[in-house]
Amino acid sequence: MNDPRQFFLNDFKDNPFGEFSADGREFYVTHVHLPRPWVNVLANPHFGLVVSHTGSGFTFVENSQLSVLTRWQQDLADDTSGKFLYLFIPATGELCSLSPAPTWAPLDSYRCIHRLGSTTFLGKKGNVAWSWTLLAHPRETAELWLVELENLGPSPQELELTAFLEWNCGVAPSPRREFSKLFLETQFLPDSGLVLAKNHMWDVGSRRFGHWNTSYPFVAAFGADRPPAHAQGDKALFFGPGGSLRHPLALQDAQWEPAFGRHWDPVAALRYPVALAPYEKATLVFVLAAGKSRKEAVETWQRLANPEEVQKALEETHRFWDELLGRHSINTPDDSLNAVLNWWSRYQAIAGRLWARCGYYQQSGAFGFRDQLQDAQVFLPLEPQRTREQILLHAAHQFADGSAYHWWHPLTEEGLPSRYSDDYLWLAFVTANYLKETGDFSILEQEVPFLDAEAKTLTDHIERAFALAFSRFSPRGLPLIGCGDWNDGLSACGLQGRGESVWLAHFLVLLTQEWSRIFRELGEHEKASSFQEKRNQLFAAINQYAWDGEWFWRASLDDGSLIGSHRNSEGRIFLNAQTWAILAESTSRERQEKCWRAVKEHLFSPIGALLLTPAYTQPNPAIGYITRYAPGVRENGGVYTHAATWALAAACKMRDHEAVAYLLRTLNPALKDPRRSWAEPYVLPGNVDGPPSPLLGRAGWSWYTGSAAWFHRVVSEWVLGVRPTWEGLQVDPRLPSSWSKVRVLRQFRGAQLSITMHRQPGVAKTQVLLEGKPLEDNLVPSDVDGPLSLEVLLPEEEIQT
């Protein structure tokens, strides 16, 4: 087995490519040439951009797949596609760019600062230094650039700054570029220096007008706070014969022949002369705005295109993230974990998953029914109203039979009706967690329309989801898997309606237990008893049919054969079938312990907890596309980070402090050696290559992963043990043995709590003191008023069980 030290840093400060700021809010990329682009996602709920450490990336409004303003080519090996600023120094004839791309000119100094809400490029070439900050306005549909140029020398500098972008204005990626560009129209307004762009053909299906017969619903506007000296709207004329994005020949020309309209290859290239006296600074701002009309786009640009407005927006953006995320903070002995959990993982979940719904590995744009519901739990201790809104949004994308869209696109509202066996059940799961956090049972009476029927209460929506699930059981009383469950890759196990899902059975045990309790709270005792009986039936079926001797098998196929069984040579054991037996308590304690031993023996690896092992080496059409991945890649035998966070919760429930420490270390992106992982150290990847991949330890699908919200939740509620329950706020830590002191700031039901945990000699078991008085069952009552201080006394040595 490979030595784990090959894959992790001894100290997160040993990263050879950059470092966190002291407070963790920023990451400084100090090297241009990285194994893969390290990106930032800058977004508000309606608009955003993705920018890499090279300056490449794209901008979108409302939907990062169907409504992309600027063209971007997804190529992580050649990260040279995006919006750029060229700097030409006529005195020396030198050409560079304010970000490494697209010129890749050697710079005297370089730093990229990715921060919550903004990215800044700092650079120097000769006696010219610069700063270029990009952000999405916190409220407007606009991207803002703040550019500062400085003359560091005793001689005047005559500079030329050229902004460049290529228009897309529609669906991305567009495989038919030469066709798509025929419908784009641009216009240059010389008095203001503004370039407008619109698309007369939006490549989405329209129920009203038909395919290829709909205009893109936004107009884009791009310009600076001053008119340019020259403007160009045609890509071929800007590049010139033999020229390229890296070295456009137009930058050498004194005059440009502008070409805007409907017959060109649509770009926006704007050149600005900048004269700097010795040691002088100059500031320029650029705005890329989108509006539902030309008037709206132009007015947005006019409001924002001045340095004061851009600076104000930058400060507001930083203040927003600081204030929101500061409502729940932790301080552990691990500074790298503090940086990831206090700032980046939740920023990733909100900006990347809920608002932008994209990253460099995937331009989704869609809401996944199960995906963004789980992500929305990130708001529970911060701003639970936003979780409430997400719950109701998803309920509105449910059908009257209880099923739901697997995903749907905002703007078009087109979606994929789900044949997955679990999608619609996450509505019940997240609603239960919302109720435990807030006590707001009024949400259950909120009426929400179905996609195909009139409005009913949220409770009605959830009961229909359960009824559908209960109608899809095998003769043995196990739920049918259909075309997949949480693991989409098990896409063929039950296409004929006979394959079963053991993970889903565990999940339903948990859900029926929770909703039995909810119905009791509502005084609906008959329903409560019915759900408790269903839970008991599932428990019995799981333990009668799904036990494989030392662990639970994962699923049965339509022909009755099993996967995740000791009988299998590949896919012999699956992680989720074991961890959820523990999380749902859907088996005896003895079997939970056996499951956990099997997980540690077979699935714990030097790089983390594998989703399954051994990996499939040949496609198996009876199982699904999971077997078509290369062995060790993503779900096929890699570390699937989302599931690994559930393993961390299971380790806490098993009180396995050694496993808790192992999983924290292997999940923490800041500790992964980037020379092996390749991915950003400040956000979680979706997966890490497992054996037998020759790139063992390589991470992928960063940013766009549901693990970000789950990692924070599991650490907060299970490792630190500060967990909402039906009775109140439970404080039951499962800290790594090496941690001696932890602080948590958290709000609960309107009360602000300051919690200090520390080990103390003579303490036999955990004690929680509220304002110095012991709490019964270590439980903070739901009706507590704050602010309050809690002291948690921990044994010096945790007992390993």
How confident is the model at residue 210, as a pLDDT?
74
Q: What is the pLDDT of residues 480-506, one digit of tens each?
A: 999 999 999 999 999 999 999 999 999
Kindly provide the residue ranges of all beta strands, DSSP E only, lying in 575-706, ordered along the sequence.
604-605, 608-609, 612-613, 639-640, 687-688, 699-700
Q: DSSP for 125-185, please give it.
A: ETTEEEEEEEEE-SSSSEEEEEEEEEE-SSS-EEEEEEEEEEEEEESSS-S-HHHHGGGEE
Residue 717 is assigned to a structural domain of this protein: no
How confident is the model at residue 207, as a pLDDT?
72
Question: Residue 194 belongs to what H/E stretch?
Answer: strand 194-199
Q: Which residues of 361-374 are buried (b: 16+ CB within 10 A; e: fewer)?
A: bbbbbbbbbbbbbb
Overall number of domains in the chain: 2
CA distance 37 to 214: 35
Q: Which two tokens stand for residue 538?
A: 């599932």
Residue 95 is assigned to a structural domain of this protein: yes
Range of 280's domain? 35-176+218-323
The residue-averaged pLDDT of 172-189 equals 90
Which of these, 515, 721, 685, lies nearest to 608 by C-alpha position? 685
CA distance 383 to 106: 46
CA distance 361 to 488: 18
Q: Which two tokens stand for residue 710?
A: 């789950």
Question: Residue 391 belongs to what H/E stretch?
Answer: helix 384-395
Residues in the chain: 801
How confident is the model at residue 796, as a pLDDT?
86
At 296, the amino acid letter reads E
The residue-averaged pLDDT of 316-330 equals 98
β 573-574/194-199 pair status: unpaired
Judge whether 69 and 166 are in contact, CB under 8 Å.
no
The residue-averaged pLDDT of 277-302 equals 99
Residue 750 is assigned to a structural domain of this protein: yes
Q: DSSP for 257-287, please give it.
A: ----SSSS-EEEEEEEEEEE-TT-EEEEEEE
Which of these, 701, 713, 712, 715, lies nearest to 352 by C-alpha position? 701
**Which CATH number characterizes residue 761's domain?**
2.60.420.10
CA distance 670 to 11: 9
> Which 3 state secondary structure label does DSSP give 732?
coil
CA distance 374 to 645: 13
CA distance 64 to 359: 9
CB atoms under 10 Å from CB of 558, counted, come to 17
Q: Residue 5: pLDDT above 70? A: no
Which pLDDT band, with edges at 50, 70 and 90, does 4 fall under? low
How confident is the model at residue 314, as a pLDDT?
99
Mean pLDDT of all residues belonging to the chain: 97
Domain end point (choices 294, 323, 352) = 323
CA distance 380 to 357: 19
Which pLDDT band, with edges at 50, 70 and 90, does 21 fall under? very high
Residue 132 is assigned to a structural domain of this protein: yes
Q: What is the pLDDT of residues 524-565, one digit of tens each?
A: 999 999 999 999 999 999 999 999 999 999 999 999 999 999
- Cβ burial, residue 599 (10 Å; 0-12/13-18/19+): buried
Q: DSSP for 341-355, please give it.
A: IIIIHHHIIIIIIII
Domain end point (choices 286, 301, 323) = 323
Q: What is the pLDDT of residues 410-433, one digit of tens each?
A: 999 999 999 999 999 999 999 999
Q: Residue 230: pLDDT above 50? A: yes
Alpha-carbon radius of gyration of the chain: 28
CA distance 122 to 127: 14
How confident is the model at residue 723, as a pLDDT?
98
Which pLDDT band, with edges at 50, 70 and 90, does 176 fall under? confident
- Cβ burial, residue 540 (10 Å; 0-12/13-18/19+): exposed
How confident is the model at residue 784, as a pLDDT?
87
Residue partners of 772: CB distance under 8 A and separation at least 6:
791
Q: Residue 801: pLDDT above 60? A: no
CA distance 137 to 133: 12
Residue 720 is assigned to a structural domain of this protein: no
Q: Which of 244-248, 328-332, 767-771 has the lowest mean pLDDT?
A: 767-771
Residue 619 is assigned to a structural domain of this protein: no
The residue-averaged pLDDT of 699-711 equals 98
Judge whether 741 and 717 are in contact, CB under 8 Å.
no
Q: What is the pLDDT of residues 42-75, one digit of tens each?
A: 999 999 999 999 999 999 999 999 999 999 999 9
Distance in angstroms between the alpha carbons of the first and the last residue of the chain: 26
Residue 412 is assigned to a structural domain of this protein: no
Judge whether 310 and 285 are in contact, CB under 8 Å.
yes
Q: Which two tokens stand for residue 773?
A: 């008085």
pLDDT: is 90 or 520 the higher one?
520
For residue 236, give the DSSP letter.
H
CA distance 462 to 468: 10
451 backbone φψ class: left, alpha, beta (φ>0; ψ -120 to 50): alpha
CA distances to 149, 271, 627 from 131, rounded to whole Å, are 7, 18, 48
The residue-averaged pLDDT of 262-268 equals 97
> Which 3 state secondary structure label does DSSP give 16?
coil
At 687, the amino acid letter reads N
Q: Residue 799: pLDDT above 60? A: no
How confident is the model at residue 159, as a pLDDT?
98
CA distances to 19, 360, 709, 766 from 40, rounded to whole Å, are 15, 9, 17, 41
CA distance 455 to 478: 31
CA distance 475 to 169: 52
The residue-averaged pLDDT of 435-440 equals 98
How confident is the model at residue 205, as a pLDDT?
77
Q: Residue 798: pLDDT above 80? A: no
Domain end point (choices 323, 355, 377) = 323
Which pLDDT band, with edges at 50, 70 and 90, does 786 fall under? confident
CA distances to 425, 467, 469, 530, 538 from 534, rounded to whole Å, are 15, 11, 11, 6, 6
Question: Residue 290 belongs to what H/E stretch?
Answer: strand 281-291
Q: Residue 209: pLDDT above 90? A: no
**Which CATH number characterizes residue 224's domain?**
2.70.98.40
Q: Which two tokens stand for residue 53?
A: 């450490």
Residue 614 is assigned to a structural domain of this protein: no
Q: Return the residue matching tokens 């394959």.
A: 499
CA distance 580 to 480: 17
Q: Which two tokens stand for residue 754?
A: 């300051």
For residue 615, give the DSSP letter.
P
How confident is the model at residue 467, as a pLDDT?
99
Cis peptide before 266 (omega within 30 of 0): no
pTM of the model: 0.97
How confident is the model at residue 59, as a pLDDT?
99
How confident is the model at residue 1, as a pLDDT?
46
Question: Residue 94 belongs to what H/E stretch?
Answer: strand 94-97
